[in-house]
């Protein structure tokens, strides 16, 4: 990702000769490449219009009925094979090119968040609905409206060059990336379970996520582990209730829980090799007792576990169980540890990332393709990237030159987007699909 060290002029010339890129990628863009850019710019106003329409009508996870209908209607108008109702509201479109070649998957997520919008734009959301028994506002506070609009634009661009397309594209419009409602399945895992990668099966998958950390026109990604795994943690410490003035008459689960919380923090900092990858164990809630002079029977804790390495993730789980159970045992209490497996590590296949780096640089320019730091957030694109090699990148949405403090982070009611970024997303996904096909012509 970073420029190679400088060597002598002779060495550079020799390297350029030995490692020269294929002519199609090193010379003046060919007609198909030029057509992708021309058509991306032509569809830009419609992409912005789609984005604003979806933004004004946000829908929560597994309830993306209107958005799915809009997407399906558009894909059918382009002549794609369309399946609806995948993973509740997901839409899968298949575009078969006029020439033989590999199958590439492109993914966008469609769901919004239970957030009340505070951005002053004409298309701001005024939608309200019920979530977990409460009335809430609904907002595209994570930019999934832009993802959906961008991929709709990509479908338009690639359908327009269908006869020259050397392969097949599977468009995945996915619900519930933010997590399915309680008691429901959803998201990428359910999309795969219900056949999103079946007939045809992709050989590579690409996706993006907008982020204000970078400016519009910039792209950032990281080979290997880019976003953390995310597992839920629930620990119930059981003691024996007694009077707060006579703690020896029972077993105090509150003191035991406090010892467990402290000890859990030493697992990442003292028991794991931090040179391999970072990891986090966070306890976000503790509940126990009803008044100050009663030691309760039990305490419940919930939290999250984050890691960037699959083996480290498994090791973390073992150590968390051992730590909680042994500390509780030493106090005469018990600890029931329940770890809910969540999203895997979002892993960018290093070979695929290396292969497609030139494509991203051609789209955005060398200076605008940056190395992304590891993100402790999680993404369920990770499920697709476990099935086939994947590349997931960040698309900058901050106005060029604007200070970062003027742009709220994802999930904020003040989250906003510089819409000049959208055409970069359309171009990037379109070129990634076509370039991958061209670089793998022997695939069927």
Last residue in a domain, options 308, 343, 378: 343
> Rounded mean pLDDT of 238-264?
98
Predicted pLDDT of residue 25: 44
Question: For residues 435 and 131, what is the distance between their CA atoms, to the nearest angstrom?
Answer: 43
Instruction: Locate 53 and state its tokens.
Output: 């329409």
**326 within a domain of the structure (yes/no):** yes
Question: For residues 234 and 320, what is the distance between their CA atoms, to the nearest angstrom?
Answer: 11
Predicted pLDDT of residue 317: 98
Residue 321's nearest CA partner among 231, 390, 201, 241 is: 231
Last residue in a domain, options 343, 359, 375: 343
Other beta carbons within 10 angstroms of residue 53's beta carbon come to 15
Candidate list 194, 336, 355, 419, residue with the active-site label: 419
Asked if 135 and 182 sit in the same domain, the reply is yes
Instruction: Assess whether 343 carries a catalytic annotation.
Output: yes
Asked if 151 and 35 sit in the same domain, the reply is yes
Predicted pLDDT of residue 163: 98
Please tell me the pTM assigned to this model: 0.90
Predicted pLDDT of residue 27: 56
What digits encode the pLDDT tens for the residues 332-384? 999 999 999 999 999 999 999 999 999 999 999 999 999 999 999 999 999 99
Cα 373 from chain centroid (whole Å)? 14
Predicted pLDDT of residue 24: 39
Radius of gyration of the chain (CA): 25
What digits encode the pLDDT tens for the residues 28-53? 779 999 999 999 999 999 999 999 99
pLDDT band at residue 15 using 50, 70 and 90 as cut-offs: very low
Question: For residues 320 and 170, what is the distance between their CA atoms, to the nearest angstrom?
Answer: 40
Last residue in a domain, options 293, 317, 343: 343
Burial class (CB in 10 A: 0-12, 13-18, 19+), 444: exposed
Task: Tell me phi and psi for residue 376, to 5 degrees.
Answer: -75, -15
Question: For residues 318 and 84, what is the distance between their CA atoms, to the nearest angstrom?
Answer: 40
The terminus-to-terminus CA distance of the chain in angstroms comes to 31
Candidate list 221, 343, 384, 407, residue with the active-site label: 343
Quick one: CA torsion of 49, 53, 58, 62, rounded to 10 degrees?
Answer: -80
Asked if 316 and 409 sit in the same domain, the reply is no
Question: For residues 394 and 81, what is the distance between their CA atoms, to the nearest angstrom?
Answer: 29
Question: For residues 389 and 248, what is the distance between their CA atoms, to the nearest angstrom?
Answer: 58
Residue 364's nearest CA partner among 216, 147, 226 is: 216
**8 within a domain of the structure (yes/no):** no
> Is 336 strand, coil or helix?
strand
The DSSP secondary-structure symbol of 181 reads P
What digits encode the pLDDT tens for the residues 114-169? 999 999 999 999 999 999 889 999 999 999 999 999 999 999 999 999 999 999 99
Q: What percent of the chain has pLDDT over 90?
A: 91
Total count of domains within the chain: 2
Asked if 240 and 218 sit in the same domain, the reply is no
What digits encode the pLDDT tens for the residues 269-287? 999 998 999 999 999 999 9
**194 within a domain of the structure (yes/no):** yes
> Rounded mean pLDDT of 399-412?
97
Angle at 431 between CA 164 and CA 397, to 5 degrees: 145
| CATH number for position 303 | 3.30.70.360
Residue 272's nearest CA partner among 232, 318, 226 is: 318
Res. 238: pLDDT tops 90: yes
Asked if 191 and 295 sit in the same domain, the reply is no
**3 within a domain of the structure (yes/no):** no
The domain in which residue 145 lies consists of: 20-226+345-439
Instruction: Assess whether 419 carries a catalytic annotation.
Output: yes
Question: For residues 45 and 196, what is the distance between their CA atoms, to the nearest angstrom?
Answer: 30
Mean pLDDT value across the chain? 93
Residue 251's nearest CA partner among 145, 191, 330, 192 is: 330
DSSP per residue, 364-397: H-GGGEEEPPPBSS--THHHHHHHS-EEEEEEEE
Predicted pLDDT of residue 442: 64
pLDDT band at residue 203 using 50, 70 and 90 as cut-offs: very high
Residue 288's nearest CA partner among 235, 325, 231, 245 is: 235
Predicted pLDDT of residue 56: 98
**7 within a domain of the structure (yes/no):** no
Per the listing, tokens 């949405």 go with 397
Per the listing, tokens 């912005």 go with 48
What digits encode the pLDDT tens for the residues 111-121? 999 999 999 99
Element (H, E) at 95: strand 90-96
Question: For residues 68 and 49, what is the distance between their CA atoms, to the nearest angstrom?
Answer: 16
**283 within a domain of the structure (yes/no):** yes
Asked if 68 and 215 sit in the same domain, the reply is yes
Res. 444: pLDDT tops 70: no
Asked if 212 and 79 sit in the same domain, the reply is yes
HEC-encoded secondary structure of 24-82? HHHCCCCHHHHHHHHHHHHHHHHHHHHHHHHHHCCCCCCCCHHHHHHHHHHHHHCCCEE
Asked if 44 and 170 sit in the same domain, the reply is yes
SS3 percent helix, strand, coil of the chain, rounded to 5, is 40, 30, 35
Res. 22: pLDDT tops 80: no
Count Cα atoms within 13 angstroms, Cβ side, for 334: 4
Asked if 202 and 77 sit in the same domain, the reply is yes
Beta pairing class for 229-238 and 298-307: antiparallel
CB of 232 within 8 A of CB of 288?
Answer: no
**130 within a domain of the structure (yes/no):** yes
Asked if 195 and 46 sit in the same domain, the reply is yes
Question: For residues 181 and 224, what is the distance between their CA atoms, to the nearest angstrom?
Answer: 30
Res. 54: pLDDT tops 80: yes
Predicted pLDDT of residue 369: 98
**290 within a domain of the structure (yes/no):** yes
| CATH number for position 132 | 3.40.630.10
Predicted pLDDT of residue 29: 78
Question: For residues 400 and 382, what is the distance between their CA atoms, to the nearest angstrom?
Answer: 30
Asked if 84 and 179 sit in the same domain, the reply is yes
Asked if 195 and 106 sit in the same domain, the reply is yes
Task: Tell me phi and psi for residue 172, to 5 degrees.
Answer: -110, 110
Question: For residues 10 and 393, what is the distance between their CA atoms, to the nearest angstrom?
Answer: 35
Question: For residues 308 and 312, what is the distance between their CA atoms, to the nearest angstrom?
Answer: 8
């Amino acid at each position: 990702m970073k420029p190679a060290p400088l060597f002598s002029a002779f060495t550079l010339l020799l390297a350029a000769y030995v490692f020269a890129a294929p002519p199609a990628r090193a010379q003046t863009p060919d007609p198909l490449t030029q057509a992708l850019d021309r058509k991306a710019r032509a569809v830009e106003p419609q992409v912005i219009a789609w984005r604003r329409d979806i933004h004004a009508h946000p829908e929560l996870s597994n309830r993306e009925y209107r958005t799915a209908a809009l997407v399906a209607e558009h894909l059918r108008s382009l002549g794609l094979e369309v399946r609806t109702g995948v993973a509740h509201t997901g839409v899968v479109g298949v575009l078969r090119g006029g020439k033989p070649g590999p199958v590439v998957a492109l993914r966008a997520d469609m769901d919004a968040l239970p957030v009340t919008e505070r951005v002053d734009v004409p298309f701001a959301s005024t939608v309200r609905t019920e979530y977990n028994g409460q009335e809430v506002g609904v907002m595209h506070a994570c930019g999934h409206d832009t993802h959906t609009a961008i991929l709709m634009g990509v479908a338009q661009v690639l359908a327009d060059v269908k006869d020259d397309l050397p392969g097949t594209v599977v468009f995945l419009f996915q619900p519930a990336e933010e997590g399915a409602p309680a008691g429901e399945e959803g998201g990428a895992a359910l999309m795969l379970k219900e056949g999103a990668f079946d007939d045809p099966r992709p050989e590579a998958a690409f996706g993006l996520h907008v982020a204000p950390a970078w400016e519009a026109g910039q792209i950032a990604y990281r080979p290997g582990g880019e976003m953390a795994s995310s597992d839920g943690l629930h620990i119930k410490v059981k003691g024996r209730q007694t009077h707060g003035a006579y703690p020896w008459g029972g077993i105090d689960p509150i003191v035991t829980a406090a010892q467990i919380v402290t000890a859990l923090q030493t697992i990442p900092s003292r028991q794991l090799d931090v040179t391999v990858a970072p990891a986090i164990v966070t306890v976000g809630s503790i509940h126990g007792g009803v008044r100050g002079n009663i030691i309760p029977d039990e305490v419940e804790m919930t939290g999250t576990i984050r890691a960037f390495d699959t083996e480290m993730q498994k090791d973390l789980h073992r150590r968390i169980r051992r730590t909680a159970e042994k500390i509780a045992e030493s106090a005469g209490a018990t600890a029931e540890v329940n770890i809910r497996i969540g999203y895997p590590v979002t892993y960018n296949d290093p070979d695929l990332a290396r292969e497609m780096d030139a494509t991203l640089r051609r789209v955005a320019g060398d200076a605008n393709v940056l190395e992304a730091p590891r993100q402790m957030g999680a993404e369920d694109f990770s499920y697709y990237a476990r099935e086939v090699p994947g590349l997931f990148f960040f698309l900058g949405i901050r106005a060029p030159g604007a200070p970062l403090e003027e742009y709220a982070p994802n999930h904020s009611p003040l989250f906003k987007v510089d819409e000049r970024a959208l055409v970069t997303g359309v171009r990037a996904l379109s070129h990634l699909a076509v370039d991958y096909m061209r670089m793998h012509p022997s695939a069927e």
